[in-house]
Structure formats: structure tokens, C-alpha cells
Amino acid sequence: MEQKIEPQEIQLTKQDFESDQMVKWCPGCGDHAILKSVENVFPVVGQKMGYKKEDFVVVSGIGCSSRFPYYMNTYGIHGIHGRAAALAMGIKLTNPKLSVWMISGDGDSMAIGGNHFIHIARRNPDINYLMFNNKIYGLTKGQYSPTTPKGQKTKTSPQGTFETPFNPGELAIGARGKFFARVIDTNPKLMQKVFLEAALHHGTSIVEILQNCVIYNNKIHALITGRDTKDDNQLILEAGEPMLFGKDKSKGIILEGTRLKAVTIGENGITKDDILVHDPTTEDTGIHMMLASMAPPELPAALGVIRSVKAETLEDAIWNSVEHEKEVSPYKNVDDLLNSGNTWEIE
């Protein structure tokens, strides 16, 4: 039994979701822009999917990013560090009719919550998972995280980190996640488009948001987001479109042997037909994994929806089983169960 929600005439506005609480992120923090985008996208999600304002639930772990639920006028829980995925899952499995959004940081999702991250991807409940990746621990004031580039100096790595970082996309796809997208906090249009696609995707939609922490890790994504460098360092993916990038879309991605390669159209006999066309829907993880791995300076970072594969959701599987068992079970109520099997009467 798929939990179908009939689209209906619901008129929601951004104001419906704005909270009266003071937003306490640092001025200039990327989180502000993400909040705006989410506030903008919820009314659209409501309209397109038939959710009323009370149907939205926003949960989070702990971190600067995880203060998010307090700043949205929805049902919400600010949870404990790393465990928001479990919180979200309990809500969705209990009531599949809710639109469940989960907010987390790179420390929250990749360190203390790493285990929950791979398991939610594997289980595929219909949850929209927004991971703010500032490659640093913001709330605790600047320690390195599992996504901090190797060698970077932070408060806990004065000599530079010695560790190889995680790439969240690789982890999500490697865990057989069905939806992975990446956006940047400086592009609200792309954020809103991708958040909407995440909501429309029936299953766990993981969106990595490259977010700038002005205080402890300023400009960590500058190569990808900077005005002068971004064209050459970001590839905005569109389903069914060739993977073109660069100022005048003169560059593209091809598959050479078993590896992706950036090329320039017109050079070395390359034509537009050689460029890979993006298909986020293939079950096979190969190209999606390679796209998620791309990083400047060799290759542009892939943005947009990298992977979006249809699959049964966890809550549908469970609730279908509930419906089925209701039909076939010999026990119509708990009294039946208590009296089942070997029983005897004392006169």
C-alpha cells in the first residue's frame, strides 16, 4: 500500500513556515541562505504533494546547522548529536503521511552519526536529508571533521590533519542510497530546485549542501563557489542533458577507459556528441559514484541531482505488511492471542 497523498488545493506561503524565534547563526553564515531556500520550497512541496502545514516535520542532530528546526514553524525536534536519522525514521515509520525533513552537519552525519547515515541510505525511508557540509565543527568552535581536507590546520590539528576525509556522496551511494544530490549555499535557485526534487523523490533523498562557515572555515568551498573560479569548477547536472560546464559551456565530461575526464569541445577532435549525457536513474552506481567523487582542480564538482533511483520505501514495505497481516492473521485482537496455543481450564 503506497501512502498516496492526493494533491489538493493548498495555498501555503513562505510566511506559514517562518518562526518567531531569533535566528542565532553568525552573520554571513551559509546557514541563513539555506533556511531561506527551505522556507521558500515548503509551500511548493505542500502544493505539489498535498501536504498541509501541520504535515511537515523538521528534525536534526546537534551542531550549528542542527539549530534549524527552531527556526521553522513546523513540528520539529532538535535531537542528540548524530542520531537525527533514527529520529526521522521513527517518525516516518509511525506516520508515513508526514513530510519528514532532517538537518545535519558533516560532524553530525559523518562522525558520530556515520553508522546511522549508511543505514538510512540502505533502508530508504522517504526522508529528505539535508547535510550541511562546512568541513568543520562549527558549534564546538573549529575542530576538524571527517570531511576536512587532509593536512588542513584546525584547532585539533595544529600540524594539519593526518586523516583521509570522507566524501559524503561516495558514502551515500556506496551504501546503496537511492538519491544523492549536491548544492551550494550561494545558489538559492539550485537549492530550491534540488530540495523540491528531493521532496518529490519517494525514498531517502540525501542532499549535501556545501556550506560556508565564515568563522571557522571561511572560503573552504571557494574554488567551487567563487565568482571567478566557479564556472570551471562546477558541473551542474541535468537529467538527459550532456555534462557541460565552463563559462560558455565549452567544456564537458567524457568517459575515457574507466575514468571520467574533463575535455574541451573542439580540441583533439572532441565534439558535443562525445560528452556524457546524465542519467540519474540507473540502478548501477558506477557513473554516479564517479560523479560524486569529482573534485577540483582536476575535475569540476558535480552539483544537482547525481542519483535518483526508484525503489520501494521502508515505510511502504512495512505498512504493506501490516495490511497483509491484518487480512491473514488468525488474531483479530489481543484476546485472541492470549488464548492461542496450549491453554487449559481450571473449573
Partner 1 sequence: MTAKKDKIVEIEEAVVRFAGDSGDGMQLTGNLFSDSTAFAGNDFATFPDYPSEIRAPQGTVSGVSGFQIHFGHKNIHTTGDLADVLVAMNPASLKANLKWVKKDAIIITNSDEFTEKNLGKAGFDSNPLDDNSLTGHLLIKGPLNTLTKEAVKDLDLDNKSVLKSKNMFALGMIYYLFNRDYTKTFPFFEKKFKKNPLVVEANKKVLEAGFNYAETLEVFTNTYRIEKASLNKGHYRNVTGNLATAWGLLAASERSGHHIYLGSYPITPATDILQELSKHKQFTCITQQAEDEIAGVVSTIGGSFAGAMAVTTTSGPGLSLKSEAIGLAIITELPMVIVDVQRGGPSTGLPTKSEQSDLLQALYGRNGEAPCIVMAATSAADAFYSAYEAAKLAMEHMTPVILLTDGSIGNGSEVFKIPKVADLPEIHPPLAKANDPEYQAYKRDPKSLARQWAVAGTPGLRHRLGGLEKADITGNVSQEPLNHQIMTDLRQAKVDKVVDYIPELKIDGDDKGELLVVGWGSTYGVLLTAVEEMRAEGKSVSMTQFKHIMPLPKNVHEVFSGFKKIIVCENNMGQFANYLRMKHPEFKYEQYNKVQGLPFMVSELKTKFDTLLNE
Ligand X SMILES: Cc1ncc(C[n+]2csc(CCOP(=O)(O)OP(=O)(O)O)c2C)c(N)n1
Q: Which residues bind partner 1 (CB under 8 A)?
A: 19, 21, 52-55, 57, 59, 62, 69-70, 73-80, 83, 85-95, 97-98, 115-116, 119, 318, 321-322, 324-326, 328-329, 331-335, 337-339, 341-347
C-beta of 143 vs 250, nearer to ligand X: 143
Q: Is 12 exposed, middle or buried (0-12, 13-18, 19+ CB in 10 A)?
A: middle
Map the footprint of Mg ion across residues 79-118, applying CB under 5 A.
105-106
- Rounded CA-CA distance 242/227 in Å is 23
Binds 25: which of ligand SF4, ligand X, partner 1, none (CB < 5-8 Å by kind): ligand SF4
Q: Mask: binding to ligand SF4, 8-37, rule CB under 6 A, as x and -? A: -----------------xx--x-x------
Return the number of the residue (77 or 276) whose C-beta is nearest partner 1. 77
Q: Is 185 in the site for ligand X (CB under 6 A)?
A: no
Query: Does residue 145 touch ligand X according to CB under 6 A?
Result: yes
The one-letter amino acid code at 62 reads I
Question: Cβ closer to ligand X: 66 or 192?
Answer: 66
Q: Is 302 helix (H, G, I), strand (E, B) or coil?
A: strand
Minimum gap (Å) between residue 332 Cβ and ligand SF4: 54
Alpha-carbon distance 280 to 181, whole Å? 10
Pick the closest to residue 275 from 311, 300, 310, 304 (CA basis): 300
168 interacts with Mg ion by CB under 5 A: no
Residue 60 β-bridge partners? 78, 103
Span near ligand SF4 by CB under 6 A; candidates 78-86, 166-174, 188-196, 210-218: 210-218
Q: Are 220 and 185 in contact (CB under 8 A)?
A: no
Total residues at interface with ligand X (CB under 6 A): 17
Pick 150 or 324: Cβ nearer partner 1: 324
DSSP letters spanning 20-61: SSPP-SPTT-HHHHHHHHHHHHHHHHHHHHT--GGGEEEEE-
**How far apart are alpha carbons 260 and 267 in whole angstroms?**
17
Q: Which does 183 bind (CB under 5 to 8 A by kind): ligand X, Mg ion, ligand SF4, none?
A: none
Question: In the beta sheet, which residues pair with residue 36?
Answer: none
